[in-house]
Amino acid sequence: MANIRTRLSLVEYGAPVDLSGAIVDAIGVDRIKANNLLTEAGNRAALNLRLNYNPIRVDAKGTRAIDFAGLIRLAPSLELEIAPKFLGLDDTDAVWREDFFFLSTLSRHGRLLAAERLSASGGAPRDLSTLVARSITSMYEALKRRPLRSYRRVREADFFIDGDPDPVDLIFPSPEGFEQDLIRFDRKNGWNGDIVAAAKELLPEVSDPSAASSLMRLIEDLSPQNTSANRHKSIPARHRAWKPLHELSIDVLGGLGLNYKQGQAHAPGYLVDTWRVWEDLVAVAARLGFGRNTVVHQRGYPLGTRTKVSSGAVSKLSVYPDCVIEPDGARSRMLLDAKYKGHVEKGQLRISEADIYEALAFSKATGCNLVVLAYPAQPGGALQPVGTCMVFEKAVVDAVQIVGVQIESRLISKTGALKVFADNMAMGVGNAFT
C-alpha cells in the first residue's frame, strides 16, 4: 500500500490556524502531542536557519509561522508547508510553489542570481532548469583549467610495472599483465561524479539546444565516473573554488534545482530565510534592469566613528545599502534598499519609522538624497504584471526623498519572467520620484 502523505499549510505572518486540530484528525494523536510536533518542527527550522528563537508559534489562538518559508516534515506521513507572505496560498493552483522554489533555489546559489554571464548569452532563460543548466556549465568552464583531481588507490593489470605487484604475479602473470596496486591522481572521484550525475539529471528537462549541448560536453569531458558519491565529504581546501558548483549539483540531485513537483521534496525539508530571498531577488533584478556596471551592491560607506570608552579605541561606523544605482544621464543617482517586513504586518500600509531612520543614515553616508525602499507586494490585491512597482507612501526629510514601493513577484517562475521582473522594476524605481 502506498504511503499517503498529508500536507498542512500556513502563510508566513498569517493569522493563526488550528493546525493542532488538523494534526489530531490526520494521524490520531492527542492535542498535546500535536503541539509538540509543531514545536519540534520549529526547533529544527531554527537550527537549520540559525535562528535564536522558534519560528513556529503555537498558542491558544492557533499556529503561526514567522521569518521563514519552506517545507518541513512533522511526522512520517505528515508535512507542513509555509508559503512566503508575498506569494500566499492558492488552493486551486500550486503556482506559488513553483515561484517559491524558483526564488529559493536562485537565492541559495549566488551565481544563479547574479547571472552576469547569462545576460549576454541569448536573452533571458526560458525556465529554471535552463538557468540552472547554464549556470552549472558556465561555472564548470571557468574552473576546468584547474581540474578537481584527487588521489585514489586502484588495482590494475599491465605488463608495464608502475606500481607494487605481487611477487607471485611476477612469475605467473595474468593474460592482461602483472596485477599491481597503483595510486592515481586524476578526475575520477565522487565530487566530479556528483557534477556529472546532476548534468545527466538536468539534460532531459532542458529544452534550450545550446544549454543542452553544453551539458553534454560537460558529461563527455568528465566521464567516466564510477566512484561512490562524496556528498558528505568536504572538497579539499586546494579545490575550494569548486564548492559552489558541487553544492548546486547536490541540490539538483535532491530535486531542489528543478521546478517544484508535488511529493518530491520531503524531510529534512527545504527552508529559507524569506527576507534573504527577497533581498537577493531585488539585487539581481537591479543588475539586470539597470545594467551590471551601474549598480554597486552592498558596499560599505562611512557614516561616522565609534569610540570604546574603556580603551579609547576608535573604529569606523559604516552602513551597507543594498544597491547604489549610479546615474546614466537620464536618471539621477539613487539608493535601492530591499525591505521585507514592517509595512503591513499591523494592518497599515506605511513605511516604518525604523526604515525611515535607516534610509536617512544611508543617504547621509552616500551623499544621495533619493532613496527607494522596495517591499514585496501582498497577494491579497489584484494580480499585476510581475515586477510592477506600486508607490504607497513618500517621506521627505529636508532634501532627502524616501519612497516606499511594493513590487509584484507572483508568477516569477513563468518562462522569461525573471527578465520581465527586472525590466518592470527598473522602470518603476526609475519613475518613483516623478
Confidence of residue 365 (pLDDT cuts 50, 70, 90): very high
CA dist., res. 137 & res. 400, Å (int): 45
Last residue of a domain, one of 158, 186, 214: 186
pTM strictly above 0.85: no
CA dist., res. 166 & res. 157, Å (int): 11
Number of domains the chain contains:
4
Q: Cβ neighbours of residue 206 under 8 Å, at least 6 residues apart?
A: 129, 130, 133, 212, 215
The mean pLDDT value for 288-308 works out to 91
pLDDT at 80: 85
Residues 426 and 282 in one domain: yes
Residue 62: strand, helix, or coil: strand
- Tell me if 140 is assigned to some domain: yes
- Tell me if 420 is assigned to some domain: yes
295 has pLDDT over 50:
yes
Confidence of residue 23 (pLDDT cuts 50, 70, 90): very high
Residue length of the chain = 434
- Tell me if 413 is assigned to some domain: yes
Residues 50 and 71 in one domain: yes
Inter-helix orientation angle 128-143/209-222, to 10°? 40
Least confident segment among 107-111, 175-179, 206-210: 107-111
CA dist., res. 116 & res. 92, Å (int): 36
- Tell me if 118 is assigned to some domain: no
- Tell me if 100 is assigned to some domain: no
Residues 319 and 416 in one domain: yes
Confidence of residue 75 (pLDDT cuts 50, 70, 90): confident
Residues 140 and 154 in one domain: no
The mean pLDDT value for 21-39 works out to 92
**177 lies in which domain range?**
150-186
Structure-block grid coordinates of residue 269:
525539508
The mean pLDDT value for 378-383 works out to 78
Structure-block grid coordinates of residue 22:
488538523
* Highest-scoring range by mean pLDDT, 114-118, 249-253, 299-303: 299-303
130 touches 143 (CB < 8 A): no
pLDDT digits (tens, 9 = 90+) for 220-248: 888 887 765 555 577 878 888 888 788 77
DSSP designation for 122: S
Residues 367 and 234 in one domain: no
Least confident segment among 78-87, 228-237, 254-263, 406-415: 254-263
What order do you get walking across the sheet with 6-11 strand by strand?
6-11, 78-83, 69-75, 270-272
- Tell me if 406 is assigned to some domain: yes
CA dist., res. 398 & res. 419, Å (int): 36
The mean pLDDT value for 127-150 works out to 79
Structure-block grid coordinates of residue 342:
514592517
Residues 280 and 391 in one domain: yes
98 has pLDDT over 60:
yes
The mean pLDDT value for 45-69 works out to 90
Residues 253 and 283 in one domain: no
**Long-range contact list for 257-260, CB < 8 A, 24+ apart?**
257/105, 257/128, 257/129, 257/132, 257/198, 257/202, 258/128, 258/129, 258/132, 258/201, 258/202, 258/205, 259/98, 259/101, 259/102, 259/127, 259/128, 259/129, 259/413, 260/94, 260/97, 260/98, 260/100, 260/101
Percentage with pLDDT > 70 across the chain: 76
CA-based end-to-end distance of the chain: 63
